[in-house]
Amino acid sequence: MFSEQLISKLKKAESIAVFTGAGISAESGVPTFRGENGLWKKFRPEELANFDAFMRNPDLVWEWYRYRKKIIADIKPNPGHYALAEMENYHKNFAIITQNVDNLHRRAGSKTVYELHGNIERNYCIDCRKNFPNEKILLSDKVPHCICGGLVRPDVVWFGEMLPEDQWNAGEAAAERAEVFFAVGTSAVVYPAASLPQIAKRAGAYVVEVNIERTELSYDADEVLIGKSGEILPKLLDTCYKK
Ligand code: OAD
């Protein structure tokens, strides 16, 4: 299943970067955005993941985020997340660059995680920027307000917003440094995040895609592994690291 080239590169590599998307959390029960049962098939991103829409209708946006927060509070990382957390121990530099907001990489034990689209378990006041506790949001059905009176929003990146600069810079540097770059469970269509595989490839990385189906990225990847990340990544750990 894995090429000799990949196995030998992984045995020697000092720097690995892993770019993840909603697909890695699918086996934990987090819905993906695109594809057959994708969230964006049923819901309109421009009404739910957009600052103007939030200001127009905070009740609706909060209903949607509370629904997603509750899913995420109840689920667990899957074998794909755990395999990545273990791989981190074998390399000098190992970074996960995720588009996911579900916090599952950290919950699985990964230490170096760059969150390009924020974290759904964090919230902040749009006026004073103070953090607002997640537990309070899960316990009430009301739109949350800060003690300063400001409206509280989830700490996630919405369409039209900039990515957090420090996370992007660190993720880009990890992609440029990587000898092997994995893209796992992402349709790789949302930019600028989706440019990371090209950045890594231009800088000389061996690019490996893990997905249940081929994507736009497959044409540029050096190796495409078709299957569930919760099955492929533990196999990779057994084959390339433990033998
Ligand atoms: P998508 O929903 O666009 O893509 C999920 C990818 O995961 C697809 O290519 C699936 O084929 C693949 N997939 C599904 N199950 C899998 C499994 N078990 N193992 C491996 N692959 C699997 O999700 P993202 O690429 O993460 O942005 O979407 C990118 C961004 O679009 C999100 O971060 C979000 C969304 O709008 C914001 O909210 C800013």
Residue-number span of the structural domain to which 199 is assigned: 4-30+77-117+163-241
| 96 and 171 share one domain | yes
The response to whether residue 32 sits with its C-beta less than 6 Å from ligand 1 reads: yes
Closest by CA position to 108, among listed 89, 88, 84: 84
188 CA distance to ligand 1 centroid (A)? 8
The response to whether residue 123 sits with its C-beta less than 6 Å from ligand 1 reads: no
pTM equals 0.96
List the beta strands (DSSP E) in 167-232: 180-184, 206-211, 223-226
Dihedral, CA atoms, 118, 120, 126, 129, nearest 10 degrees? -70
At 43, which CATH number?
Answer: 3.30.1600.10
222 CA distance to ligand 1 centroid (A)? 20
Q: For this structure, is 145 an active site residue?
A: no
| 212 and 97 share one domain | yes
The number of domains in the chain is: 2
What is the spatial distance between Cα 135 and Cα 133, in angstroms, rounded to a whole number? 6
The response to whether residue 23 sits with its C-beta less than 6 Å from ligand 1 reads: yes
| 103 and 216 share one domain | yes
Q: What is the pLDDT along the chain (243 residues), one digit of tens a residue?
A: 999 999 999 999 999 999 999 999 999 999 898 988 888 888 888 788 999 999 999 999 999 999 999 999 999 999 999 999 999 999 999 999 999 999 999 999 999 999 999 999 999 999 999 999 999 999 999 999 999 999 999 999 999 999 999 999 999 999 999 999 999 999 999 999 999 999 999 999 999 999 999 999 999 999 999 999 999 999 999 998 887
| 59 and 177 share one domain | no
Q: Which of 81, 91, 105, 117 is catalytic?
A: 117
| 213 and 93 share one domain | yes
| 82 and 69 share one domain | no
Residues making up the chain, counted from first to last = 243
| 141 and 229 share one domain | no
Q: Tell me, what's the pLDDT at 207? A: 98
| 133 and 207 share one domain | no
Inter-residue contact 39 to 33 (CB < 8 Å): yes
